[in-house]
Structures are given as structure tokens and as C-alpha cells.
């Protein structure tokens, strides 16, 4: 589907008091700092400030007159322990049901964010000839596999034709898609605003190509992002996913570069304009800084969009898992990107080589044998992934998450 371009002035887009829009002069200046060692990128789910897990479940479960993205709910049983995990919500239609034999649309509003850290300006709408001369971040995103259909064959299976999030979900539930719903598609319908500007009150600029890599505090940013959503009910109602795009800018905790670097996150809020309806939103860095391994251009964006798709609340329950990918401890949620962070694959489209991240199937989390995923694998690309401590490897073609995590 063709994207709509929403041309708006800052005054029209952001109906916020002037004081809320004008941040103080940043404490940082334009002096380049050496990057902290080692520079490691990861993503997070940021728990909502105004909703508990039970609140989110209740708001997604109860029918309401308010607009909403198309979410469905299900439960999964861990095949090894026979424990049933309930209240699992995903975007789209339930692929197990014959009624899902059709396309369903989900709306995404892409919001480019110009970030000012000291005197350095990071602009996703401007071509950066030093780091990415083939186009601005937003132009390249518009042409990317996130929002444009292509045909994907992995292993011996042609998963189908669609956007990358759709193809992942088709692969995720391939046993049902192949047998019962061959026309299953989740279509993301993007629209684009003009850039908005955010001036950080702190932050750092590290050495990298072009203007460098910007880093600033996640809490400062997230408060601003939530204000944007709440102040624009016509543009950003609960039936859209606001997706804020940075260019070569990442986040840390409390301006502590030792916590660097958060490449993106997804979260949710209670939209006060719509009876406190549940609304998911996301943030991601289009990266051409060359400061990271295992991330490039849209890889972090693909991670966040697909985790919104399969874990919009950040609390979809799973057996405890961890010590793999970016997870050095244990967690128990359906964050499909986290076990495979850093494993990226090229897709050539519209004259550009994009990089998407491999993602884990539900069969990996719930120890399903055989996997219901495409090729009988446990991730879309079947990555051979090392454990966090590099002591062993897990093959996502053959092995579900059978090792207990304590």
C-alpha cells in the first residue's frame, strides 16, 4: 500500500505549551569524546509508568468503543512442562483460525525526530553524505522492507510475499498459515509527519563518522514522547502505533554512558484522551554510525516493530529463558528479538542493502517439538547463536529453549 505523507508544522503537530517544547540548552558541547569501551548496543521494553500488567490485560481484553489496533489473544502450553501461559496478546489476526484467511491492516505513524545535543544536530530527514550518502534515514525507511512487500525464501521454504513483520509472523505460525490460511497477511499502513525537534538537556557525542554518535537520557526523552502522544489525539489515537525515529542517536540511563547504548525500545501508555485506552508506541535508531557490530540501518527498527507485533504489553508470559543474545540473566516474556540481537541479514530493495534482525519463533519459547515455524526451525533465518557467556551455542534450526534459566 502507498504511504501517506502528513505535512504539518510544529505548531500544528504538537499542541503543547511552549514551555514543554523548548528544552534548556544542553550541557554537552560539540567536543568529540572517545566511545566508552566496549560500545554495546541493545534494546529494551520500557514498562509503562501508568499501567500494571493486569491493567494492560484488562484494557486489551475488554471491548471498548475507543479506536484500537487489531490485537488478538491466545494461550500457549510449554510442551516440556505442560504449563499453560495465558493472556498472550499479538497484533493482527489469530493465524490458527480459518477466519484469518485475509489481510488485516495496522496503522503506524512514523515521526522523525531531530535531536540536538549541544551544538550537534542529528537529523533523520537530511542526507548524511559522510555516513549514508544514499538517502536520508526517513527516505530509506519509506523504501525499506519494513513497509514494502517482497518475497522471502529461507531454507527450502518460500514464506510468502509481504512486509518484513508480516513475513516473520507467517514464518512464526507457518504450520497454520500453510495448511489453513494461505492468504494471511498483516499489512502495516505507514504515514509520515514532518520532523519534530528535541533538545537534550545533557548528553554526549562520541567519535564516529560524520557528526558522530549522540547519546542522551532515556527518561528525559520518554517523558517528551508521551507528551507528544497525549497532546495530539487526532493524529495519534490508540488505533495507531507512534514510531519515533532517531538518526545515529541512542539512549542511556541517567546520562550514564556506562549504560550505553539503547538502540530502541517499545512501551505503552494510558491514552487519557480515549478513556485511558491502551496505546503502544516505539522508538528506534536508524544507524549508520559504524560504532556497533550486529546493527545497521533498520535492524533495530525491525527488532522493535516485531516485538510490538508479538509482545505489545512487554509482559506476554513465557517459561524463563536467558543467557543468550543480549540477555545475560533471565527473563520470561515473549520479546522475540532479544535472544537474537546482533544477528542481522541483508535484504536488497530499491537499490539499497537493508539489514533486518533474525527473530525467535513462539516454538522456541514454548519448547514446541516439532516447531510450527517455517522449515521446522525456531527462528526465521535459523541462526546459530552463541550463549551470552560464549560457552555453548544454540542452533535455532533445531533447538528450542530447553535449558532452564534460574
**What pLDDT does residue 259 have?**
67
Give the pLDDT band of residue 3 (cuts 50, 70, 90).
very low
Q: Are 29 and 118 in contact (CB under 8 A)?
A: yes
Looking at per-residue pLDDT, the higher value among 206 and 87 belongs to 87
**What pLDDT does residue 179 have?**
77
Give the pLDDT band of residue 401 (cuts 50, 70, 90).
confident
Q: What is the pLDDT of residues 173-225, one digit of tens each?
A: 999 998 776 788 999 999 999 999 999 998 999 887 889 999 999 999 999 99
Question: Which residue from 220, 257, 228, 12 is spatially nearest to 116, judged by alpha carbons?
Answer: 220
Res 2 pLDDT > 50: no
Res 25 pLDDT > 90: no
**What pLDDT does residue 356 have?**
98
**What pLDDT does residue 4 have?**
34
Q: Are 281 and 225 in contact (CB under 8 A)?
A: yes
Q: Roughly how many angstroms between the first and final C-alpha of the chain, as a whole number?
A: 45
Rounded to an integer, what is the distance from CA 16 to the centroid of its chain? Answer: 26
Question: Which residue from 347, 367, 400 is spatially nearest to 153, judged by alpha carbons?
Answer: 347
Per-residue pLDDT, averaged over 6-23, amounts to: 34
Residue pointed to by grid coordinates 521454504: 157
- d(CA 376, CA 393) in angstroms, rounded, equals 19
**Residue 353, SS3 per DSSP:** strand
Res 244 pLDDT > 60: yes
**What pLDDT does residue 1 have?**
40
**What pLDDT does residue 6 have?**
38
Q: DSSP per residue over 16-81, as a string?
A: --HHHH-PPPPS--S--BPPPSS---EEEE---SS--HHHHHHHHHS--SS----EEEEEEE-TTT
Q: Are 341 and 293 in contact (CB under 8 A)?
A: no
Altogether, the residues listed in the chain come to a count of 406
Give the pLDDT band of residue 65 (cuts 50, 70, 90).
low
Most confident of 23-27, 95-99, 262-266: 262-266
Name, in order, each residue with C-beta under 8 angstroms of 138's C-beta and a sequence gap of 6 or more. 110, 112, 124, 125, 192, 195, 245
Res 369 pLDDT > 90: yes
- d(CA 300, CA 391) in angstroms, rounded, equals 26
Res 29 pLDDT > 90: no
- Grid coordinates representing 248 are 545515529
Res 351 pLDDT > 50: yes
Per-residue pLDDT, averaged over 19-29, amounts to: 34
Domain range summary for the chain, segments of one domain joined by +: 4-321
Per-residue pLDDT, averaged over 28-38, amounts to: 57
Question: Which residue from 181, 187, 341, 189 is spatially nearest to 261, judged by alpha carbons?
Answer: 341
Looking at per-residue pLDDT, the higher value among 203 and 31 belongs to 203
**What pLDDT does residue 158 have?**
95
**What pLDDT does residue 388 have?**
66
Answer whether 0.85 is exceeded by the pTM.
Answer: yes
Q: What phi and psi values does residue 120 have, to the nearest 5 degrees?
A: -95, 130
- d(CA 251, CA 257) in angstroms, rounded, equals 9
Percentages helix, strand, coil for the chain (3-state, rounded to 5) are 20, 35, 45
- d(CA 141, CA 240) in angstroms, rounded, equals 18
Q: What is the pLDDT of residues 141-150, one digit of tens each?
A: 999 999 999 9
Per-residue pLDDT, averaged over 131-144, amounts to: 97
**What pLDDT does residue 229 have?**
98
Look over the chain and give the mean of its residue pLDDT values, rounded to a whole number.
88
- d(CA 212, CA 32) in angstroms, rounded, equals 8
Q: How many CB atoms lie within 10 A of CB 400?
A: 24
Give the pLDDT band of residue 318 (cuts 50, 70, 90).
very high
**CA atoms in the 13 A half-sphere facing the CB of 174:** 24
- d(CA 78, CA 83) in angstroms, rounded, equals 5
**What pLDDT does residue 151 have?**
97
Per-residue pLDDT, averaged over 49-59, amounts to: 93
- Grid coordinates representing 303 are 527488532
Helices in 239-298 by DSSP H: which ranges?
none
Give the pLDDT band of residue 21 (cuts 50, 70, 90).
very low
Helix (H) or strand (E) holding 12: helix 10-13
Looking at per-residue pLDDT, the higher value among 182 and 399 belongs to 399
**What pLDDT does residue 207 have?**
81
Rounded to an integer, what is the distance from CA 69 to the centroid of its chain? Answer: 16
- d(CA 205, CA 186) in angstroms, rounded, equals 38
- d(CA 382, CA 359) in angstroms, rounded, equals 9
Amino acid at each position: 500500500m502507498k504511504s501517506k505523507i502528513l505535512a504539518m508544522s510544529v505548531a500544528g503537530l504538537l499542541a503543547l505549551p511552549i514551555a514543554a517544547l523548548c528544552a534548556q540548552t544542553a550541557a554537552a558541547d560539540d567536543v568529540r569524546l572517545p566511545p566508552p569501551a566496549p560500545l554495546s548496543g541493545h534494546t529494551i521494553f520500557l514498562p509503562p509508568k501508568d499501567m500494571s500488567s493486569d491493567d494492560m490485560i484488562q484494557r486489551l481484553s475488554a471491548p471498548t468503543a475507543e479506536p484500537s489496533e487489531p490485537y488478538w489473544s491466545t494461550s500457549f502450553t510449554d510442551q516440556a512442562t505442560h504449563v499453560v501461559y495465558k493472556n498472550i496478546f499479538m497484533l493482527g489476526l489469530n493465524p490458527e483460525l480459518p477466519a484469518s484467511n485475509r489481510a488485516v491492516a495496522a496503522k503506524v505513524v512514523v515521526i522523525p525526530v531531530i535531536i540536538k545535543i549541544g551544538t550537534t544536530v542529528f537529523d533523520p530527514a537530511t542526507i548524511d553524505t559522510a555516513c549514508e550518502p544514499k538517502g536520508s534515514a526517513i527516505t530509506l525507511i519509506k523504501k525499506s522492507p519494513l513497509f514494502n512487500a517482497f518475497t522471502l525464501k529461507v531454507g527450502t521454504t518460500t514464506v510468502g510475499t509481504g512486509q518484513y513483520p508480516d513475513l516473520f509472523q507467517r514464518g512464526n505460525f507457518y504450520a497454520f498459515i500453510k495448511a489453513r490460511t494461505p492468504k494471511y497477511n498483516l499489512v502495516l499502513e505507514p504515514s509520515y509527519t514532518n520532523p519534530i525537534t528535541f533538545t537534550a538537556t545533557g548528553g554526549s557525542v562520541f567519535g564516529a563518522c560524520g557528526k558522530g554518535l549522540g547519546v542522551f537520557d532515556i527518561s528525559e526523552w520518554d517523558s517528551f514522547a508521551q507528551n507528544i502522544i497525549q497532546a495530539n489525539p487526532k493524529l495519534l489515537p490508540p488505533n495507531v502505533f507512534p514510531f519515533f525515529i532517531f538518526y545515529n542517536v541512542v539512549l542511556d540511563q541517567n546520562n550514564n554512558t556506562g549504560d550505553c547504548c539503547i538502540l530502541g525500545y517499545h512501551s505503552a501508555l494510558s491514552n487519557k484522551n480515549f478513556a485511558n485506552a491502551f496505546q503502544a508506541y516505539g522508538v528506534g535508531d536508524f544507524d549508520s554510525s559504524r560504532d556497533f557490530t550486529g546493527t545497521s540501518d533498520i535492524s533495530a527498527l525491525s527488532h522493535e516493530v516485531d516485538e510490538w507485533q508479538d509482545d505489545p504489553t512487554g509482559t506476554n508470559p513465557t517459561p524463563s529463558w536467558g543467557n543468550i543474545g543480549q540477555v545475560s540473566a533471565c527473563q520470561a516474556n515473549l520479546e522475540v528479538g532479544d535472544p537474537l540481537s546482533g544477528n542481522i541479514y541483508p535484504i536488497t530493495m530499491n537499490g539499497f542493502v537493508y539489514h533486518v534482525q533474525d527473530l525467535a519463533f513462539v516454538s522456541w519459547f514454548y519448547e514446541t517439538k516439532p516447531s510450527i515455524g517455517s522449515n521446522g526451525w525456531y527462528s526465521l533465518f535459523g541462526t546459530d547463536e552463541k550463549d551470552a557467556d560464549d560457552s555453548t551455542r544454540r542452533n535455532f534450526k533445531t533447538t528450542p529453549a530447553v535449558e532452564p534459566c534460574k
